Structure 1
Amino acid sequence: MDRIESLSLNIEKNNIDKIKELFPEAVEEGKINFDMLRAMLGDEVDDSKEKYQFTWNGKAKSIKLAQTPSSATLRPCKEKSKNWDTTENLYIEGDNLEVLKQLQKTYYGKIKMIYIDPPYNTGNDFVYNDSFSNSLENYKKQTNQFSSSNPESNGRFHTNWLNMMYPRLILAKNLMSDDGVIFLSIGQDELENLIIICNEIFGESNRCGVISRIMKSGGAKGRFFSPNIEYILVYCKNINSVGNFREPISEEVINKLYTSIETDGVRKGEKYRPFGLYQSSLDSRPNQRYYIECPDGSYVIPPGETMPNQNVDGAMVLPKNGDGCWRWSRERYLEEKQKGNITFKESKGVLIDSDGKPSKWNVYTKIWLSDRQEDGAVPINLISKWENRISKKELSELNIPFDFAKPTELIKYMMNIIDDSKNAVILDFFSGSASTAHAAMKFNSDDKGNRKFIMIQLPELCNEKSEAYKAGYKNICEIGEERIRRAGEQIKAEWEKEHPSDGLFGSEEQFTTDIGFKVFKLDSTNVNEWDPNMKLDEKELAMRLGEVFKGDRSKEDILYEIMLKYGVFDKQVEEIDVNGKTMYRVGKRYMIVCLEDCITSEDVKAIAELSPRTVIFNEAGFKNDNDKINALYNLEKAGVDEGIKCI
């Protein structure tokens, strides 16, 4: 039996495998031959000593840090969770660098949307102090302090921030689906640097835009200008795969433009916007200059010198430069007219008649509001709604003390403008007060979506003088978790208020929004690590070999580490009885995990009858190697085709 890989995804090896797949000629004895690779890439390789680049002290180490696998794990914390058995949402306490590594095997290429609101590096923000040697040990040290400022006087003001952000964004990109989008809120201090490193990591061609956002109005801070604007950078994984961004048409636009109402036909009563079939900005095209007959029998044509030879509807000419044309060909015009999408209005001076004189008529197409609402509008790169004060009101309604949160409507807006987000997995690895989780639940309740959220937050200790600490919150994770609990109940109560039961049989419609979440905590592996330098006598060695798992860890701790390292952390788990022993079914028929002792042939037979694709055993559960070999043989014979592994 093989053993489960004990480390997170090896990104460096993954990248090398991709190169090997694309350029097998550049691989010699398992190594990359860069001279051959350069030759195959030709002129696209820049070998010049002077080149456009952005670097800082520690950049190479931060890249290496992102690629270094981790042996850590995520331990379940049921007592802090809500709806553990049914929810698909995750809240993870821990250093986001380590957690992002742990999520690679399960969520690689699966995240549709990422939103982060990282430290803005104003000099007083908490900055993650990564250790290039042992980030897990470093994380444990960090969580025993409140905050760490990043003053300019230390000489590494921008460098420390860049070393913190760069590896996390590398890992985040790996998790994004091919049509995935990332939104990054940022202030003025690190805007330029964040744009440059995002251009490097995601590719400048994959930049969707930079949004300016009004975060507050007024204020008297600042020497030259009061800072009222912040920014949201928007990048995608693959610009050719991501859908168009669209937002709902605003009431202001509807009231201003869609002022006409259809009085006849199948679309009677619908609102539409008249739009001229002739526009002066249109280029001249051969099949788009012809006469159109008006309601009084006269003929009109866009202004120009070239006129059709016949004064009949249907005659066309080859226009010269300067001649006006219709938006559509004659065939398209007749099709739209048949559908009732053409209207005539008296509007003197725009079109000319067959004598070249100004006509009293103009021809319009009908742009239907319902069609445009379905298509949506292209969003602009300025957001003037949802200032930060709104989030303060939201948290006040939940009786949650927290400053500087983002309004949920702002995050809902970002979820809404991306294409096809109803079933998206949404990640926020600087979760803060969990505004993103709140927004996802609200949006699911509004449109019956099934968005799943993953929140990651360092359990940064609250200042003992803060309102949060006085209210009983020891760290930010406790604030975020409580907000999700209260927000979920608030959303449910609002839904039930809008969908009252008739009091007799109850409402036919049920509240189905997932308002639960599973809490996990970052920790060291559950498996005792082997130290080859330890000097043990025979008795101590035998005892050591029998202690595979740490004594303070539960079977569920071990189960979720198996799922994490096997890449099935997103599957549902069911505790089942198999031949009188407690085992775990992961997914419907995907995996059986048996951590029991004294495994018998009857146990193996009962497992085989469940037809799993994979079976995981505790190796110490077999009495001897023969029992283990027999189990392997019998399961393979029964059709367990994907693997039988031990931990």
Structure 2
Amino acid sequence: MEKMRMESVDMTEKNIEKIESLFPNCITETLDENGKLKKAINFEVLKQMLSKEIIDGDEAYEFTWVGKKAAIVEANKPIRKTLRPCVEESVDWNKTENLYIEGDNLEVLKLLQESYLGKVDVIYIDPPYNTGNDFIYNDDFKLTSEEYSEVSNELDEEGNRLFKNTDSNGRFHSDWCSMIYSRLLLSRNLLSDNGAIFISIDDNEQENLKKICDEVFGEDNFLAQIIWERAYAPINLKKHFSRSHDFILCYAKNESLAINNGIKRTEEADNRYSNPDDDPRGVWQSDNLSVGPAVETNIYPIVTPSGRIVEPPAGRSWSLSEKAFSERLQDNRIWFGSDGNGVPRMKRFLSELKKQGVTPMTIWKYGEVGHSQDASKALKELFDNKMVFDYPKTIELIKRCIELYSKKDSIILDFFSGSATTAHAVMQLNAEDGGHRKYIMVQLAEKTDEKSDSYKSGFKNICEIGQERIRRASKKIIEDNNVNIDIDYLDTGFRVFKIDDSNMTDVFYSVDDYSQDLLSHLESNIKTDRNDLDLLFGCLLEWGLQLSLPYNSENVEGYTVHNYNSGDLIACFDKDISDSVIKYIAKQQPLRAVFRDNSFADSPSKINVGEIFKSLAPDTRVKVI
């Protein structure tokens, strides 16, 4: 019977496996810290495999900074942590498919690697802009005592160091680059093959972020650098320029597979269409047929219904070949004007254009998606005229990002959730188009300033603000659209999870360290403050099951049996489980089954469990924690 790993996936091992599948000759062996053989990469051979020329030097075009290699190691390093469900803080726990996760986003991204690998269609993030006074994160940089004394430090509730990046820090840009680099490396794994990521940024780190994204996602997958007009009036106190815009970088996981849905057509745009010839296909507009430079095969005379001969202007040609023109003429798609004597034009029917949206431009004006003042005003109104969060983004801005590359059932991720504007935007978009998009919000529980409106309003950290915003936003969406919304279908709830240390006790060993003698000395390897739900969701993370699926629990002969997503996983964490209950579970033939290690009285009992599953459910994977 297998032992569960109970730690996040080792991304270094995963990456080595990927390289081995492509370049097996680049794999070698080395000894780990315990003297055991492990796979490793011969980087000299790998570099030569990726070069057409003989490599004899170290020079290369690259973007680097102090701490870049450490950021890669940090992204790949496994952690022994878990996500603990908080049912009492959630809304519609049993029905919702949305997630709100409290914790450091680097650690959360590591824990989501198995369950959401390739499952997210759109990521939107609004990371700290590194302005010199607002950038806090948990990353464990290796600092000398002198460096440590030069920067300001804070501790979180567990005593972990929270690092504040200020412009007095000598590694001001390097630390920001390391912070975002490790997180983007992990987030790319979560994107679906046709997914896209949007990242808001200002001038402070735009140049560095662009280079990092080119490296992480690939230059070929760069889609756009969008300019958002975030301000509508100049600030006259500025010395040189009043900055009125932010950037939004957009990259695809794979540009050739990404599908841009376009922007919804406006009523004003639709009103430009008419139907002067009463075409049964509906209203249309017409396009000029002449283009340039001249293409010889597309130069030919056209005879209008009135008998006039028309040729393309000198040096130009028709956009259609003579054969294609003839086919469209037969299909009544060529318009010669109401008198039949005009220059030929090609019809574009609105009914056909409705199937695709308008191609977005790279400048988004505040008249289209709102500005910062709009966002602040809307949030203030939502919270009874109190400003509980500074510099939120507008709902319309994030809605546009989501609708461009999402499907109606997509998963949307924001791992710098802030005031949870992204969650608000997802719900609003679902209410408008009947979609069933799900969101995952991730936010560090950063404390609010005791002098702020948010603290005075009872919000002790940002997560409390975000969760309350979702509650209030969902109520407002229903009130504003109560006639058009299917309330039973619109998902306005969320499951809350909080990152915590492993469910296993401090005497917990990695899988390779376990032996039968060691197990006999352990009365229980699970912490006393953990319940069945903690253990169940901890198993889901390792086994790669999404955290939003339905489940139920039932009492079988006095034992509690948990069934996750109709047999994807069945678990029982009670002690001394009877053979009849084991058989009951096996007869349901789940894909996976899991028990506590001390669920069985002795080794023969554990061996008997394996035999029961071999007989009744041979395809079920059985593990213990």
- Spell out the pairing of 1:226-625 with structure 2 (5 A cutoff): 226-244=242-260, 246-255=262-271, 258-267=272-281, 270-279=282-291, 281-286=292-297, 288-304=298-314, 322=315, 324-345=316-337, 361-385=342-366, 386-399=370-383, 401-418=388-405, 420-498=406-484, 511-530=488-507, 545-570=522-547, 571-625=549-603
Specify whether residues 590 and 47 from structure 1 end up closer, same or farther in structure 2 by C-alpha distance, changes over 3 A only. farther
Deviation at 1:586, TM superposition (A): 1.3
Q: SS of the counterpart of 1:118?
A: coil
Deviation at 1:588, TM superposition (A): 1.4
Deviation at 1:277, TM superposition (A): 1.9
* Number of the residue aligned with 1:3: 3
TM-score (norm 1): 0.86
* Number of the residue aligned with 2:74: 65
Residue 426 of structure 2 aligns to which amino acid in structure 1?
Answer: A
Q: SS of the counterpart of 1:104?
A: coil
Deviation at 1:201, TM superposition (A): 1.1
After alignment, is 29-38 or 179-188 more displaced? 29-38
Instruction: Say if 2:478 and 2:487, in contact at 8 Å, map to a contact too.
Output: no
Q: SS of the counterpart of 2:258?
A: coil
Specify whether residues 515 and 48 from structure 1 end up closer, same or farther in structure 2 by C-alpha distance, changes over 3 A only. same
Instruction: Say if 2:274 and 2:283, in contact at 8 Å, map to a contact too.
Output: yes
Supply the distance in 1 between the matched residues of 2:212 and 2:305 (Cα, whole angstroms): 61
Deviation at 1:35, TM superposition (A): 4.2
* Number of the residue aligned with 1:85: 94
Specify whether residues 423 and 230 from structure 1 end up closer, same or farther in structure 2 by C-alpha distance, changes over 3 A only. same
Q: SS of the counterpart of 1:345?
A: coil
Specify whether residues 494 and 45 from structure 1 end up closer, same or farther in structure 2 by C-alpha distance, changes over 3 A only. farther
Q: How many residues align?
A: 591
1:631 aligns to 2:609 (yes or no): yes
Supply the distance in 2 between the matched residues of 1:12 and 1:78 (Cα, whole angstroms): 34
Residue 596 of structure 1 aligns to which amino acid in structure 2?
Answer: D
* Number of the residue aligned with 1:210: 225
Instruction: Say if 2:75 and 2:186, in contact at 8 Å, map to a contact too.
Output: yes
TM-score (norm 2): 0.89
> Residue by residue, what CA displacement relative to the aligned partner does 1:45-77 show, whole Å, maximum 9, x if unpaired?
865333322222211111100000011001111
Instruction: Say if 2:132 and 2:166, in contact at 8 Å, map to a contact too.
Output: yes
- Spell out the pairing of 1:143-154 with structure 2 (5 A cutoff): 149-154=164-169
Supply the distance in 2 between the matched residues of 1:625 and 1:147 (Cα, whole angstroms): 46
Larger radius of gyration: 1
Deviation at 1:116, TM superposition (A): 0.4
1:56 aligns to 2:56 (yes or no): no
Instruction: Say if 2:261 and 2:356, in contact at 8 Å, map to a contact too.
Output: no
> Residue by residue, what CA displacement relative to the aligned partner does 1:539-582 show, whole Å, maximum 9, x if unpaired?
xx999611221111111111111111221133322212334421
Deviation at 1:498, TM superposition (A): 4.1
Instruction: Say if 1:145 and 1:461, in contact at 8 Å, map to a contact too.
Output: no
Instruction: Say if 1:579 and 1:606, in contact at 8 Å, map to a contact too.
Output: no
Q: SS of the counterpart of 2:50?
A: helix
Q: SS of the counterpart of 1:163?
A: helix
Q: SS of the counterpart of 1:545?
A: coil
Specify whether residues 61 and 149 from structure 1 end up closer, same or farther in structure 2 by C-alpha distance, changes over 3 A only. closer
Specify whether residues 275 and 569 from structure 1 end up closer, same or farther in structure 2 by C-alpha distance, changes over 3 A only. closer
Specify whether residues 49 and 577 from structure 1 end up closer, same or farther in structure 2 by C-alpha distance, changes over 3 A only. same
Residue 280 of structure 2 aligns to which amino acid in structure 1?
Answer: V
Supply the distance in 1 between the matched residues of 2:55 and 2:351 (Cα, whole angstroms): 52
Instruction: Say if 2:133 and 2:165, in contact at 8 Å, map to a contact too.
Output: yes
* Number of the residue aligned with 2:14: 14
* Number of the residue aligned with 2:215: 200
Deviation at 1:327, TM superposition (A): 1.8
> Residue by residue, what CA displacement relative to the aligned partner does 1:460-490 show, whole Å, maximum 9, x if unpaired?
0010100011111000000000011111121
Supply the distance in 2 between the matched residues of 1:581 and 1:116 (Cα, whole angstroms): 44
Deviation at 1:250, TM superposition (A): 3.7
Residue 275 of structure 1 aligns to which amino acid in structure 2?
Answer: D
After alignment, is 139-148 or 451-460 more displaced? 139-148
After alignment, is 47-56 or 17-26 more displaced? 47-56
Over the aligned positions, Cα root-mean-square deviation in angstroms equals 2.5
Supply the distance in 2 between the matched residues of 1:560 and 1:620 (Cα, whole angstroms): 19
Q: SS of the counterpart of 2:498?
A: strand
Deviation at 1:328, TM superposition (A): 1.6
Supply the distance in 2 between the matched residues of 1:633 and 1:145 (Cα, whole angstroms): 46
Supply the distance in 2 between the matched residues of 1:632 and 1:454 (Cα, whole angstroms): 37
Deviation at 1:274, TM superposition (A): 1.7
* Number of the residue aligned with 2:514: none
Instruction: Say if 1:440 and 1:453, in contact at 8 Å, map to a contact too.
Output: yes
Specify whether residues 512 and 464 from structure 1 end up closer, same or farther in structure 2 by C-alpha distance, changes over 3 A only. same
Supply the distance in 2 between the matched residues of 1:229 and 1:575 (Cα, whole angstroms): 52
Instruction: Say if 1:178 and 1:241, in contact at 8 Å, map to a contact too.
Output: yes
Supply the distance in 1 between the matched residues of 2:555 and 2:468 (Cα, whole angstroms): 34
Instruction: Say if 1:125 and 1:147, in contact at 8 Å, map to a contact too.
Output: no
Residue 559 of structure 1 aligns to which amino acid in structure 2?
Answer: L
Residue 398 of structure 1 aligns to which amino acid in structure 2?
Answer: L
Specify whether residues 415 and 92 from structure 1 end up closer, same or farther in structure 2 by C-alpha distance, changes over 3 A only. same
Supply the distance in 2 between the matched residues of 1:146 and 1:15 (Cα, whole angstroms): 29
After alignment, is 142-151 or 80-89 more displaced? 142-151
> Residue by residue, what CA displacement relative to the aligned partner does 1:324-367 show, whole Å, maximum 9, x if unpaired?
432222332232223221111289xxxxxxxxxxx963111111
* Number of the residue aligned with 1:317: none
The percentage of counterpart residues that share the same residue type is 39
Q: SS of the counterpart of 1:154?
A: coil
Instruction: Say if 1:181 and 1:235, in contact at 8 Å, map to a contact too.
Output: yes
Instruction: Say if 2:230 and 2:246, in contact at 8 Å, map to a contact too.
Output: yes
Instruction: Say if 2:419 and 2:469, in contact at 8 Å, map to a contact too.
Output: yes
Supply the distance in 2 between the matched residues of 1:575 and 1:482 (Cα, whole angstroms): 29
> Residue by residue, what CA displacement relative to the aligned partner does 1:209-250 show, whole Å, maximum 9, x if unpaired?
111111112223432111211100111111122123521234
Q: SS of the counterpart of 2:136?
A: coil
> Residue by residue, what CA displacement relative to the aligned partner does 1:115-167 show, whole Å, maximum 9, x if unpaired?
00011111111321411489xxx997377799865332221211221121111
After alignment, is 35-44 or 221-230 more displaced? 35-44
Supply the distance in 2 between the matched residues of 1:214 and 1:44 (Cα, whole angstroms): 47
Supply the distance in 2 between the matched residues of 1:112 and 1:179 (Cα, whole angstroms): 7
Residue 402 of structure 1 aligns to which amino acid in structure 2?
Answer: F
